[in-house]
Amino acid sequence: MEKPKDTWRVANFGDSYVEGIQEVDWDKNFVTQLEKYLQDNYTVATSSSTLNFQSLNFGVAGRGQIEEYWTYKYLASKANPDLNIVWFTIANDFSNNLVPPQPSGALESNQSGRIKYFLKKSALANFLFEYLKGNPFFLKIFNALHLSNSGKLNAEILAGAGDGVDIDRKINYSIQPGLEKEKERAYGITSELLQNFQKLSNEKKSKFLVVIIPEPMIIYNLYDDFFKVYPRAKIEDYDFTLAEKKLLEILKKNNIAYLDLTDEFTKYALGKSAYENCGNLFGDHFSACGHKIAAQIVGKYILENYLR
């Protein structure tokens, strides 16, 4: 854990996007590519080769900021990172923060990494999982067998309270009555956790940055697909920009530095980005191209804002 002399460390915290085993191997995910980008471009930018870079991966599937904060407080802070990045997944981090961690989330007992790897390798298993993952009975069995590091809400909410939409989407995008208390609690918990993370980073003399991982549906205009998956849902009950707007409110109110990938990813999808086109940005999670572009965007931001 001791940081070598003349080394600048980035600690990356997040869920399965940061864990990065869904679409690429470890040496190709954006955490690894970020280290290489900083090393290659810092030398060019400063005409100096005296600084070495390390990009450390603390991503674990299914986590929200609760577990990420604990990881920094009790483990990663010992590595003395110069910059802590919380990669906030718009698709489910609010709901992950709402659901309290369960014993099945402990690293020594949780098997979700193996499950993710198996789903990646088997098209049939992945199809069945996607088909069943909104079923309360299936989720109950999944949790009981310690195959998930998510907690549990009551069956009515898990079932979508009438229109079949899963809890992540409900918390993120629904504007219909019924979940106001849960949503406000999710926003409040998230705000408190990010403030605490920033405060502890400052105490440890480390910088703190939130990078927003956008919802693929927004980047690629996949709203029709959403209503095909959830045919009982009504378009007037959903605002697909709601989760990001709420997160931006939290970040701005608390003066937390952030980098939103949404605009640059949207430009890329429209063919208007300065970054070289290498294909779609998303598959199951980030595609190989998504990892590459994310590393370049964040690497450039770090060089311009923390290393000049």
Measure the CA–CA gap between 236 and 174, rounded to whole angstroms.
Answer: 9
- Pinpoint the alpha helices (H) of the chain: 16-19, 30-46, 65-74, 93-98, 112-121, 123-132, 136-144, 155-158, 167-173, 180-203, 216-219, 223-229, 242-253, 262-269, 288-306
Instruction: Indicate the pTM of the whole model.
Output: 0.83
- Specify the pLDDT at position 175: 92
Q: How open is the CA angle 232-215-248, to the nearest 5 degrees? A: 110
Q: What is the CATH number of domain 7-99+153-306?
A: 3.40.50.1110
Best CA proximity match to 57, nearest among 6, 12, 93, 119: 12
Residues facing residue 48 across a β-bridge: none
Neighbour order of strands in the sheet with 207-213: 52-57, 7-13, 83-89, 207-213, 258-260
104 — pLDDT class (breaks 50, 70, 90): very low
- Specify the pLDDT at position 49: 66
Is 282's pLDDT higher than 50? yes
Can you read off the two tokens belonging to residue 142? 């999944």
Is 112's pLDDT higher than 90? no
Measure the CA–CA gap between 263 and 250, rounded to whole angstroms.
Answer: 19
Helix 30-46 vs helix 288-306: angle between axes, to the nearest 10 degrees?
40
pLDDT tens-place string over residues 162-171: 687 887 888 8
- Please tell me whether residue 212 adopts helix, strand or coil conformation: strand
Token match 């311009």: residue? 304
Domain ranges across the chain: 7-99+153-306
What mean pLDDT value characterizes the chain?
86
Tell me if 269 sits within 8 A of 262, measured CB to CB.
no
Q: What are the backbone dihedrals phi and psi of residue 266, each rounded to the nearest 5 degrees, phi first?
A: -65, -45
Best CA proximity match to 240, nearest among 267, 216, 210: 216
* Burial class (CB within 10 angstroms; exposed 0-12, middle 13-18, buried 19+) of 157: buried
Is 118's pLDDT higher than 80? no
The alpha carbon of residue 20 and the mean position of all alpha carbons in its chain are separated, in whole angstroms, by 10
Q: For 13, left (φ over 0), alpha (ψ -120 to 50), or beta?
A: beta
Tell me if 87 sits within 8 A of 68, measured CB to CB.
no
108 — pLDDT class (breaks 50, 70, 90): very low
pLDDT tens-place string over residues 194-232: 999 999 999 999 999 999 999 999 999 999 999 998 898
